[in-house]
Amino acid sequence: MKNSIKTAGKIFFLTVFFLASTFFTPPLFASGKKKIDLTIWTLFSGGGGFIMTGLIEQFNKEHPDINIEEQKIEWGAYYTKLLTALISGYAPDIAVMHLAILPDYASKGVLNDIGKDLPAAFKDNILKEVINRAYYKGQLYAVPIDAHPLVMYYNKKILKEAGLVNARGEVLLPKTWDELFKYAKQIKDVTGKWGLTSETGAMLGERWWISLYSQLGGVFDPQKHTVDVKIAAKTYEMILKFYEQGVAFAGGDYAEHETIFINGGTGYHFNGVWGMAIYPITKGLEFGVTSIPAIPGSKPFTETGSHSFVFPKKRDKKKLAAALTFAQWLSAHSLEWAKAGQIPVNKTVLNSEALLNLPMRKDYIGVAKNVVYPPSMNGYPQLREQMWELGQRVIEKDLTPEEAAKALNKKIKEITEG
């Protein structure tokens, strides 16, 4: 009798195990008796922060043997605090990191190489051009979770007020930069409101600049550590036109530009896709979203960043396995994260009908086909800050486009050769 009970027990156990392995993707961390506690640092605020917190809480409920505690760090201080924590040995188990920043951290030897710890099928299911950015000198250091390109928002009421409609009453969307300038000027002349807003630090000096530079045929030469000075100058010149003619707002910070758009003070507005976490629920805002304009003959190449998870180097292999279980789980659940506006890089989620059924996603999801990443190089955090400053100095007439282009090239050489 006892043997029969034992046999029945074994059969029951094997049956449960078989069903579990059939219907659920096996995590890297095998469930055990002792709960594994992890910490994660994030830099998200607003709607995106709320969604990420909800996902972490959902993961904790579904994984009783793992508990992740989130610590939100203010964006402006995030990377300074993270670097200090990594060097001092008090880093979190998981940290959010932009892929453009990755080389600076991977080169310091403070992150785990996770290439052998992730299934090949999982890595293959991430967009190739994105996961390639997660490598440094042949080793994989990050799990990408999204792409967040620059897009163009527009206020339908203001465009109609300015007469920017076709015969069917549909608002006109500029396909080229000349059209954008023409339409923006018409808005300013007819309504007195701004034709265009774009935060003049990172949004202008880095994101808008990289997009336009790429459309003009410019590339960053990783061998010579240079940009094409003539194309760089032309890029600054085209941006400057909007400010010289008074159709774009040159003052204020990111929050002020956001306020102007939300309150109906501008026709067109450059921002990242994360605006979709807030704009659809903003009362009275009748808006649309589309790709930025393009140079005639060029695709609408658009700068993008990507959030990823990195794993500070620690000795506890069980914690690393649990952390990677979370990263894979979130990638598979990135449809929820896409509600913050981000574009999933998990192919299964990206190609799903559920994603296209989210509000307005069909209007901008195609941007992902033409994204351009910042140069993957050590020292990019310093370079990007210089780009922000140069863009501001150009529109303030403190530097000519030619002077700014030369200064940018000089800074690149200082960083890469210094």
Query: Among positive and negative, which fits the CA dihedral 379, 385, 389, 390?
Result: positive
Q: Rounded mean pLDDT of the chain? A: 92
SS3 318: helix
Residue 324 has pLDDT above 80, yes or no: yes
Where are the chain's structural domains? 28-145+306-332, 150-304+376-417
The mean pLDDT value for 234-245 works out to 98
Q: Convert the pLDDT of each residue in 48-107 to its tens digit.
A: 999 999 999 999 999 999 999 999 999 889 999 999 999 998 999 999 999 999 999 999
Question: Which CATH number applies to 150-304+376-417?
Answer: 3.40.190.10
Residue 24: predicted pLDDT? 37
Q: Do domains 28-145+306-332 and 150-304+376-417 have the same CATH topology?
A: yes
Residue 6 has pLDDT above 60, yes or no: no
For the domain made up of 28-145+306-332, give the CATH fold.
Answer: D-Maltodextrin-Binding Protein; domain 2 (3.40.190)
Do residues 56 and 25 make contact, with C-beta atoms less than 8 angstroms apart? no
What residues contact residue 252 under an 8 Å CB cut-off, 6+ apart?
199, 200, 260
Residue 76: predicted pLDDT? 85
Beta-sheet pairing, 343-344 with 146-155 = antiparallel
